[in-house]
Structure 1
Amino acid sequence: MPLFIKDAISKLENLIPLSLQEKWDNSGFQIKQVDALLSGVLTSLDISDKCVDLAISRSFNLILTHHPVFFHPLRSMDLDSKSGNILSILIKNNICVYSMHTNFDSSVYSMSRFMINKLGIKESSPLIPRKMKLYKLSVFIPKGYVKTVRDVLFAYGNPKIGNYENCSFETRGKGSFKPLPGSDPFIGSCMKTSFADESKLELLIDERFIKKAISEMKKVHPYEEIAYDLYPVYDFGGSSPEGMGAVGDFENGMFFSVLLDKIRALFSPIFINYCGDINRKIKRVAVVSGSGFSFMDEAVKSGSDVIISSELTHDKAIKANDSGICVIELSHFDTERYFSGIVKEMLSEELGVPVIENVYENNPFFKYKI
């Protein structure tokens, strides 16, 4: 069955919702062309000339990147520059570009979780759990249709409270309405006030699922005009499985020096910088892909013995020593290079079209052999 780009992105956003991104971010479409048939997908950490050449050589019209092409509004575009020329080639070849940045970092598929799993930590949780933003949905339903509407909302609305799901409350009463000219009432007659036995159904919905839940509710609700209200809940809901970074425990601890050797063997990084006593016993590990040492306080509060991230500054290194937490710094690239492979594996069976990984990742770092 043919798949359009908009259908592929819809499936992708069900897995990696845009609502997970930070306010300052620009995840989502960078170059948008949603009504084209999807020919193939290329996953890449960044947009580069080699990445674009690879997409063109395979006649693929969708590139999924981690880093957005645009972070700020453009005032002009220089097509003679390297970046401008790449954009020009993308547009001329009708290639759509979609980016998953901080929303991917907060998803259950993140590089942080990939790295902590690769270290051998089987059970992990977000270092900074995302708080669910909840809304209360109240909808009025005629007698005989409550179960149908409730079942749909249970399926699409994710009405969970703590460790309980399928939570709702039903109040019964009488509703009144007067169909006006041009209406097509399910109950009653035009220009006559009618009364109907109705139920008011109330439940909680995670903000991410509102659009889909309302859309599906409208398909099964018998009324032409559905009476419903959405109220934001004052406090955010409980923690969700999503969130920034990852934290977990080794089944058996190891010396810090052993962990450093383990990271060198598993990840082959460009470099490893560290702070802390190499003879310290490490049990709890925090990982934040990308520039994540701003979350050092959260790592300390979590009881982590070490935090692994990139772009360590002098003041953060001093803070780590004062806080008593060990630090491992890798290059930004080395903590995010796994994006392409993760997304490829995630989508290969999901889309039914070829999905390939950019094997020419744009690594700006080089090893200097002494």
Structure 2
Amino acid sequence: MIVQDVITYLENLAPLAYAEDFDNVGLLVGNKKAKVSGVLVTLDTLEAVVDEAVENNCNLIVSFHPIIFKGLKSLTGKTYVERTVLKAIKHDIAIYAIHTALDNALKGVNDIICNTLGLENKQILIPQKGTIKKLTTYAPLGNANALRAQLFKAGAGNIGNYDNCSFNAQGIGTYRGNEASNPTLGKKGELHQEEEIQISVTFNKHIESKLLQTLFEQHPYEEVAFEVTTLDNYDQNIGMGMVGELKNAQTTTSFFEFLKEKMKVSCIRHSQITKDTVKKIAVLGGSGSFAISAAKRAGADILITADLKYHDFFSAEGDIILADIGHYESEQFTKNFLVDYLSKKITNFAVVLSTTNTNPVKYL
């Protein structure tokens, strides 16, 4: 198995097409064609983590956070980022970062938090926009059913709980081929009319190249007429944060104790407790102040997130309780999830859980 094979598994789980624009995800260091001896999974890639990879004979590190976030203008070892990258290169270790691609995945970071807390009726808190596209093409009447079936097989036509979704309209197509043409129907140099079906299907943007390849391979015409447009629809299965419900309402004080136990935290920074009980819970792993308004609109009693600043707590305004459990703490179970996922996919070499505590924040 090569590095690209592992990447394919990861991108089936969390396609990079849905990572945030500001992020730096994917293969950051190494050769995607290199044979894999082992995979080490970590939350952050530091020098100590590279050392751990060497000790465990792992030449691929799958990291949640990207070690290279901003552009590097030199590699002299003057910063922890440069030293880490240099050490990885020295030992021929590849580094892959998944970050906000997994943040936005339906079965990703926030789903992990929800499951840890036992939340039910889970929904994406901030659905992503611009992830849904539409393909429109035109096929001869006799070929339309077969072509449509192949487009569905390639992943098009899935809307919510439905599949094989399409819109079809019948009409007359016209064309005339020049001397270099080789028309499937009609003759070169002659105007031809053909009874055709207009087929429109929606699809998620990460499968566009696969879908177009299917279209070109399966369409009977020499020249395929098609259009691809991006829709403004919000995607209910892709986006930041989640909101769910406790099976039974809890008093706020008892929920805080429950939260500390489940998320393994010793303290929680929070806004004023303005609700005696909580039931609807919003979560957003990592820095989540931008989700406060969305959590309010969702009717959440509490938002669990991290990296809230002083003035962020004022924006609760008595409508919601804000709970900051720490950045590392909110994402700590991500590496366990990735190990479990990859271990089910890969059986011919080790997938190792990093034991290095990469949390830079310490408490007294």
Instruction: Give the alignment's TM-score, normalised by structure 1.
Output: 0.88
5 Å-filtered alignment, 1:209-224, equals: 209-224=207-222
The percent identity for this pair of structures is: 26
- The aligned residue for residue 360 of structure 2 is 364
Alpha-carbon distance, 1:287 to partner: 1.1
- The aligned residue for residue 145 of structure 1 is 143
Alpha-carbon distance, 1:337 to partner: 1.0
Task: Please say if residues 109 and 342 of structure 1, whose CA atoms lie closer than 8 Å, have aligned partners that are also in contact.
Answer: no
**Which of 143, 146, 154 lines up with 1:156 in the alignment?**
154
Task: Please say if residues 256 and 278 of structure 1, whose CA atoms lie closer than 8 Å, have aligned partners that are also in contact.
Answer: no
- The aligned residue for residue 342 of structure 2 is 347
Task: Please say if residues 136 and 227 of structure 2, whose CA atoms lie closer than 8 Å, have aligned partners that are also in contact.
Answer: yes
Alpha-carbon distance, 1:257 to partner: 0.7
Alpha-carbon distance, 1:243 to partner: 1.6
Question: What's the secondary structure of 2:245's corresponding residue?
Answer: strand
Of the structure 1 ranges 280-289 and 153-162, higher mean CA displacement relative to structure 2 is found in 153-162
Q: Distance in 1 between matches of 2:146 and 2:47?
A: 52
Alpha-carbon distance, 1:331 to partner: 1.6
Q: Distance in 2 between matches of 1:163 and 1:109?
A: 16
1:173 paired with 2:169, answer no
Give the 3 Å change call, closer, same or farther, for CA 174–312 of structure 1 in structure 2: closer
- The aligned residue for residue 333 of structure 1 is 328
Question: What's the secondary structure of 1:43's corresponding residue?
Answer: strand
Give the 3 Å change call, closer, same or farther, for CA 296–231 of structure 1 in structure 2: closer
Task: Please say if residues 270 and 321 of structure 2, whose CA atoms lie closer than 8 Å, have aligned partners that are also in contact.
Answer: yes
- The aligned residue for residue 40 of structure 1 is 38
Q: Distance in 1 between matches of 2:79 and 2:314?
A: 40
Give the 3 Å change call, closer, same or farther, for CA 214–86 of structure 1 in structure 2: same
- The aligned residue for residue 241 of structure 2 is 245
5 Å-filtered alignment, 1:1-370, equals: 3-79=1-77, 81-161=79-159, 164-165=162-163, 166-178=165-177, 180-181=179-180, 186-187=184-185, 198-233=196-231, 236-277=232-273, 280-320=276-316, 322-353=317-348, 354-368=350-364
Give the 3 Å change call, closer, same or farther, for CA 231–121 of structure 1 in structure 2: closer
Q: Distance in 1 between matches of 2:155 and 2:179?
A: 32
Q: Distance in 2 between matches of 1:161 and 1:130?
A: 15
Give the 3 Å change call, closer, same or farther, for CA 97–4 of structure 1 in structure 2: same
Alpha-carbon distance, 1:248 to partner: 1.2
Give the 3 Å change call, closer, same or farther, for CA 16–276 of structure 1 in structure 2: same
Alpha-carbon distance, 1:364 to partner: 1.5
Of the structure 1 ranges 224-233 and 191-200, higher mean CA displacement relative to structure 2 is found in 191-200
Task: Please say if residues 42 and 358 of structure 1, whose CA atoms lie closer than 8 Å, have aligned partners that are also in contact.
Answer: yes
Question: What's the secondary structure of 2:286's corresponding residue?
Answer: strand
Give the 3 Å change call, closer, same or farther, for CA 69–184 of structure 1 in structure 2: farther
Letter in structure 1 aligned against 2:166: C
Alpha-carbon distance, 1:179 to partner: 6.0
Q: Distance in 1 between matches of 2:35 and 2:176?
A: 45
Alpha-carbon distance, 1:199 to partner: 3.4
Task: Please say if residues 21 and 27 of structure 1, whose CA atoms lie closer than 8 Å, have aligned partners that are also in contact.
Answer: yes
Alpha-carbon distance, 1:290 to partner: 0.7
Q: Distance in 1 between matches of 2:22 and 2:220?
A: 41
Q: Distance in 1 between matches of 2:184 and 2:295?
A: 57
Alpha-carbon distance, 1:178 to partner: 2.4
Task: Please say if residues 171 and 199 of structure 1, whose CA atoms lie closer than 8 Å, have aligned partners that are also in contact.
Answer: yes
Alpha-carbon distance, 1:279 to partner: 6.9
Alpha-carbon distance, 1:80 to partner: 5.1
Q: Distance in 2 between matches of 1:168 and 1:156?
A: 17
Question: What's the secondary structure of 1:89's corresponding residue?
Answer: helix
Letter in structure 2 aligned against 1:310: A
Letter in structure 2 aligned against 1:169: N
Task: Please say if residues 255 and 278 of structure 1, whose CA atoms lie closer than 8 Å, have aligned partners that are also in contact.
Answer: no
Letter in structure 2 aligned against 1:246: M
Give the 3 Å change call, closer, same or farther, for CA 217–333 of structure 1 in structure 2: same
Alpha-carbon distance, 1:238 to partner: 4.2
Of the structure 1 ranges 75-84 and 263-272, higher mean CA displacement relative to structure 2 is found in 75-84
1:171-211, Cα deviation, whole Å (9 max, x unpaired)? 24344342654x66645677777665543322222323222
Alpha-carbon distance, 1:86 to partner: 2.0
Give the 3 Å change call, closer, same or farther, for CA 352–194 of structure 1 in structure 2: farther
Q: Distance in 1 between matches of 2:84 and 2:247?
A: 47
Letter in structure 1 aligned against 2:69: F
Give the 3 Å change call, closer, same or farther, for CA 224–358 of structure 1 in structure 2: farther
Give the 3 Å change call, closer, same or farther, for CA 42–269 of structure 1 in structure 2: same
Task: Please say if residues 124 and 247 of structure 1, whose CA atoms lie closer than 8 Å, have aligned partners that are also in contact.
Answer: yes
1:41-68, Cα deviation, whole Å (9 max, x unpaired)? 2211111122212222333232211111
Q: Distance in 2 between matches of 1:191 and 1:93?
A: 63
Name the Cα RMSD after superposition.
Answer: 2.5
1:294-332, Cα deviation, whole Å (9 max, x unpaired)? 211211221111111112221112222x23322222121
Question: What's the secondary structure of 2:352's corresponding residue?
Answer: strand
